[in-house]
Amino acid sequence: MFDVRDLLRLASVPRIGHQKIRALVSHFKDPAAVFKASPREITKVPGIVKDMAVAIAHQEDGESFADEQLKRLKKLGGRIITIWEKGYPDLLKKIYDPPAYLFVLGEFAETDRYSIALVGTRLASSYGRIVAENFSKELARLGITTVSGLARGIDTIVHEATLKSSGRTIAVIGSGLDVPYPPENLPLLQKIAKHGAVVSEFLMGTSPDATNFPRRNRIISGLSLGTVIVESAENGGAMITASTALDQNREVFAIPGRVHEKRSAGPNKLIQEGRAKLVLNVEDILDELKQQFREFLKREHEPELPVELTLFEHKILDVLKSDATHVDTIAEDAQISPADALVNLLSLEFKGLVKQLPGKMFIKL
């Protein structure tokens, strides 16, 4: 519709963010026209005061700034999508403060309108890791896009589990696309870009400052029909995402946890206060969002074949709990030798019914 360089020229002006850019384009119809206007004309735009208007009218290095931004983006193989384009996510357009543009690696797909966000603590417990992994795998199997923030812990698990299940996932980051955070997730970011999208509203070169993440969180929830809080302290970042989802009139779901576990305090409080629906599985989410998923759920999915189990495998599943248990304890409870227990536990893991943790600990899925 217009040259994105002009949007970036506006972004180079101090105190001119996404909200003011949208207001300026709405008033002048074209960002190029803003630079042809006088400061007096520019101040007619709501939220633009005199010193801002003067800075816009007399900005000198905006073109070189825009060229440098696009050069950095091109080096990564990314692009910019503006809110005035057809390819901009419809769900995100409907929030109160959508970004005027997004820096994107990868591609959005039509099916991304059926997206569920999963977020949680960076210090996930084994319980939280398994729940996040199972939910992500099931959503991927159903063809539902997962959305998260690429952070350590639950976010990373969501993206990795989705990709392992050949699903689509979207990562929203709180820095420039050329400043991935955390840095060790660069290989994961690159994989996501091939099987989904990595997005940011922040200019290239922007550091992952703490103040960026609340704004990042509103995009995570804004891209999604609902947000699942897996584990979070009461003041954790995931709770900010829950609040933005509620502000956007989107559904919030919470995984219940142990009463005295700090990492479960956030979701437990959301449930207690009636701000989130308690969910135990993906079906609970789809049931709550059946209206939004109406067309999606018409698609037929192949029924799962029943898993055949041996006598020993049945014995192990009967005694195995949802808490991590050592192989020797499992063998004793099942009244079989530790060697037989280990062989059959590995078989159950292969069948997707058991997960092995470090130290020969096992947990029932």
Model-level pTM?
0.81
Instruction: Give a yes or no: residue 119 inside a domain.
Output: yes
Look up the CATH number of the domain holding residue 186. 3.40.50.450
Number of domains in the chain: 3
On whether the CB atoms of residues 119 and 138 are closer than 8 A, the answer is no
Q: Lowest-confidence range among 193-197, 284-288, 340-344, 349-353?
A: 349-353
Tell me: do 261 and 185 sit in the same domain. Answer: yes
Tell me: do 276 and 360 sit in the same domain. Answer: no
State residue 219's pLDDT score: 98
Tell me: do 292 and 330 sit in the same domain. Answer: no
Residue 191 has pLDDT above 60, yes or no: yes
The DSSP 8-state label assigned to residue 153 in this structure reads: T
Tell me: do 224 and 264 sit in the same domain. Answer: yes
Tell me: do 273 and 176 sit in the same domain. Answer: yes
State residue 303's pLDDT score: 45
Tell me: do 110 and 185 sit in the same domain. Answer: yes
Instruction: Give a yes or no: residue 208 inside a domain.
Output: yes
Dihedral sign, CA of 156, 210, 226, 292? negative
Where a domain ends, among 25, 56, 73? 73
Instruction: Give a yes or no: residue 20 inside a domain.
Output: yes
Tell me: do 146 and 291 sit in the same domain. Answer: yes
CA distance linking residue 315 with residue 361, whole number of Å:
17
Give the pLDDT band of residue 305 (cuts 50, 70, 90).
very low
Where a domain ends, among 52, 73, 94? 73
Instruction: Give a yes or no: residue 85 inside a domain.
Output: no
CA distance linking residue 166 with residue 243, whole number of Å:
30
State residue 302's pLDDT score: 42
Tell me: do 164 and 214 sit in the same domain. Answer: yes
Tell me: do 136 and 113 sit in the same domain. Answer: yes
Q: Which residues contact 129 (CB under 8 A, 6 or more apart)?
A: 154, 157
pLDDT digits (tens, 9 = 90+) for 129-177: 999 999 999 999 999 999 999 999 999 999 999 999 999 999 999 999 9
CA distance linking residue 161 with residue 133, whole number of Å:
5
Look up the CATH number of the domain holding residue 5. 1.10.150.20
Count of C-beta atoms within a 10 Å radius of residue 244: 24
Computed over every residue of the chain, the mean pLDDT equals: 93
Tell me: do 154 and 41 sit in the same domain. Answer: no
Tell me: do 122 and 234 sit in the same domain. Answer: yes
Instruction: Give a yes or no: residue 254 inside a domain.
Output: yes
Instruction: Give a yes or no: residue 45 inside a domain.
Output: yes
pLDDT digits (tens, 9 = 90+) for 58-107: 988 899 999 999 999 999 999 999 999 999 999 999 999 999 999 999 99
Instruction: Give a yes or no: residue 93 inside a domain.
Output: no
Give the pLDDT band of residue 299 (cuts 50, 70, 90).
low
Amino acid letter for position 250? R
State residue 298's pLDDT score: 62
Q: Tell me which H or E stretch contains 146.
A: strand 145-148
Q: Which residues contact 60 (CB under 8 A, 6 or more apart)?
A: none
Instruction: Give a yes or no: residue 178 inside a domain.
Output: yes
pLDDT digits (tens, 9 = 90+) for 210-266: 999 999 999 999 999 999 999 999 999 999 999 999 999 999 999 999 888 999 999
- Residue among 351, 265, 271, 266 nearest 308 (CA): 351
State residue 306's pLDDT score: 60
CA distance linking residue 54 with residue 160, whole number of Å:
48
Residue span of the structural domain in which 351 resides: 311-364
